[in-house]
Amino acid sequence: MASNIGTAVVTGASTGIGALYAEGLAARGHDVILVARNAQRLEATAQRIRDRHGVAVRSIAADLGDAAQLHALETELAADPSITVLVNNAGMGAAGTLEQTDPARLDAIVALNVTALMRLTRALVPGMRARGKGRVVNIASVLAMAPEMVHGVYGATKAFVLAFSQSLRHEFAGSGLSVQVLMPGATATEFWGSAGIDVGNVPREMVMTVNDLVAAALIAFDREEFAVLPALQDAALWENYEGARQALIPNLSTSRIAPRYAA
């Protein structure tokens, strides 16, 4: 029998944050659709979730960095009226600076972290809006606010994810749709090895386990918080940051040159 709270799509769900997040949604009663490239690993995760939670689990093997595969997935998911949650989790990084990193790798990072996330959201939101309910969860990073903590374009892609989520929150107001942005700090997953970084070189006190990260993220999912920073101990620091941003907004565009630029 289909879940009466609908189906959750989770990208990058074969391992790491995505696999545990998908399992957490299954534990809450969602049917789930898992997306990643490696069909075998994906199906192993799917079977584990089925066995443990008894919900319907589909795995779709697709490379979200490939335009044709992304388009096929958009079409397939847009036609599924059972989808109530989209978790845009798949993402990748790279160890080097802008100049050290192959341009093709930079393109791949932007294609996955930015384009695929934006396109899947664009594909699913019209149906959610027509049905009057839906949730989008975007996995950004604390590096959205601190891109200088790492090299290259990765932090900039995560700044896109944060800004996109802020914009969606505005666009969704009053629609029954909601968006959440999760900003993990360093989390022990395969992400680091794939990016060519040894997580063992990161101070241990800065690295969270993936179990802890996802447990906190799911509590925030249940609370329907907008911005989720599981590693930030003092929530007032985020509130002050966001308060300063909100204070800027009404002052950012005026017809008058600011006195400091007057000739």
Ligand X SMILES: NC(=O)C1=CN([C@@H]2O[C@H](COP(=O)(O)OP(=O)(O)OC[C@H]3O[C@@H](n4cnc5c(N)ncnc54)[C@H](OP(=O)(O)O)[C@@H]3O)[C@@H](O)[C@H]2O)C=CC1
Ligand Y SMILES: CC(=O)[C@H](N)C(=O)O
- Cβ proximity to ligand Y: between 191 and 221 the closer is 191
Specify whether 21 is catalytic.
Answer: no
38 binding ligand X? (CB under 6 A): yes
152: left (phi over 0), alpha (psi -120 to 50) or beta: left
Report if residue 141 touches ligand Y, rule: CB under 6 A.
Answer: yes
Among ligand Y, ligand X, none, partner that 45 touches (CB below 5 to 8 angstroms by kind): none
Among left, alpha and beta (phi > 0; psi -120 to 50; other), residue 88 is beta
91-111 core/surface letters (b: 16 or more CB in 10 A; e: else): bbbbeeeeeebeeebbebbbb
Contact between 185 and ligand Y by CB under 6 A: the answer reads yes
Binding status of residue 46 toward ligand Y by CB under 6 A: no
Q: Which long-range contacts (CB under 8 A, 24 or more apart) does 187-190 make?
A: 187/16, 187/17, 187/213, 189/15, 189/16, 189/17, 190/15, 190/16
With CB under 5 to 8 Å by kind, the binding choice for 92 among ligand Y, ligand X, none is ligand X
Pick from 6, 16, 24, 134: which binds ligand X (CB under 6 A)? 16
What CA–CA distance (Å, rounded) separates 170 from 114?
19
Work out what residue 63 binds among ligand X, ligand Y, none; the CB cut-off runs from 5 to 8 Å by kind: ligand X
Q: Select from 28, 41, 50, 169 the one that contacts ligand X (CB under 6 A).
A: 41
The site partner of 37 among ligand X, ligand Y, none (C-beta below 5 to 8 Å per kind) is ligand X
CB neighbour list of residue 263: distance below 8 Å, 6 or more residues apart: none
Which residues inside 85-114 make contact with ligand X, applying CB under 6 A? 89-92, 112
Under the binding rule (CB under 6 A), the answer on residue 187 touching ligand X is yes
Token pair listed for 191: 């992400």
What character string, x for contact with ligand Y (CB under 6 A) and - otherwise, covers 88-127?
-----x----------------------------------
- Closest contact distance (angstroms) between CB of 224 and ligand X is 20
155 contacts ligand X (rule: CB under 6 A): no
Q: How far is the CB of 16 from ligand X (least distance, A)?
A: 2
Measured distance CA(247)–CA(255) in Å, rounded: 19
Tell the residue number behind the tokens 């997306």, with chain if given.
Answer: 35
List residues binding ligand Y (CB under 6 A). 93, 141-143, 185-186, 191
List residues binding ligand X (CB under 6 A). 12-18, 36-38, 41, 63-65, 89-92, 112, 139, 141, 184, 186-187, 189-191, 194
Active site residues: 154
